[in-house]
Amino acid sequence: MVRPSSQEEAAVSYTGDSGEISATYRPVGEVEALVRPTVTNRFVATGDVTNHEFGLFEYNMAPRAGGPGAHFHRTFSESFYVIDGTVRLYDGERWIDATKGEFLYVPQGGVHAFRNESDEPASMLILFAPAPPRERYFRALAELNDSGRELTPEERTAFLAEHDQYMV
């Protein structure tokens, strides 16, 4: 995929001459938080808020919270920015102990994983672009876990594919 090398070469999506009043402010009380036993996922900016340009979630993990196995997505990239603690990030080849201020970008199709294996809490921002309805995946996963229902391998594969997640 060829990418623009400068701002001038990027596609123009706003053609007005004077700008417009169009910003969206979300006070902390309006940001949905999905609280689970080991993870709190704050849906800071879903696609509904960003014109589907990106999604931004704050992902807070308890000590030893673990995380998903290696996987990829076909329709969106995913970026990880560590806010606090140590997050183990998998870049498709190796595990990296990422700490505050470190960043990992994973393009569409890129194999990746993340987890907290430390004895301390960890937090990161996750950026999805363009914005899939990723909050639906996290809500559905929470409902599934709360139900106690165990999926067959085929059902699990179908559930993940419905949310553009393919395990490696």
Question: pLDDT value at position 6?
Answer: 57
Q: What CA–CA distances, in Å, run from 119 to 38, 100, 124?
A: 12, 16, 16
Question: pLDDT value at position 13?
Answer: 87
Amino acid at 131: A
pLDDT at 7 over 90: no
Residue 105: inside a domain = yes
Residue 22: inside a domain = no
Q: How far apart are CA 40 and CA 60, in angstroms?
A: 5
- Region 43-57: mean pLDDT is 97
Residue 12: inside a domain = no
Q: Which residue segment(s) compose the domain that 71 sits in?
A: 30-167
Residue 120: inside a domain = yes
**Global confidence as pTM:** 0.91
Residue 93: inside a domain = yes
Residue 15: inside a domain = no
pLDDT tens profile 98-107? 999 999 999 9
Residue 3: inside a domain = no
Question: pLDDT value at position 1?
Answer: 53
- Total length of the chain: 168
- Region 33-57: mean pLDDT is 97
Overall domain count for the chain: 1
Question: pLDDT value at position 4?
Answer: 56
pLDDT at 42 over 90: yes
Residue 20: inside a domain = no
CATH number of the domain enclosing 129: 2.60.120.10
Reference 40, options 116, 98, 147; nearest CA is 116
DSSP per-residue codes, 10-35: SPP----SS---------GGGS-EEE
pLDDT tens profile 67-78? 999 999 999 999
Q: Percentage of the chain with pLDDT > 90? A: 92
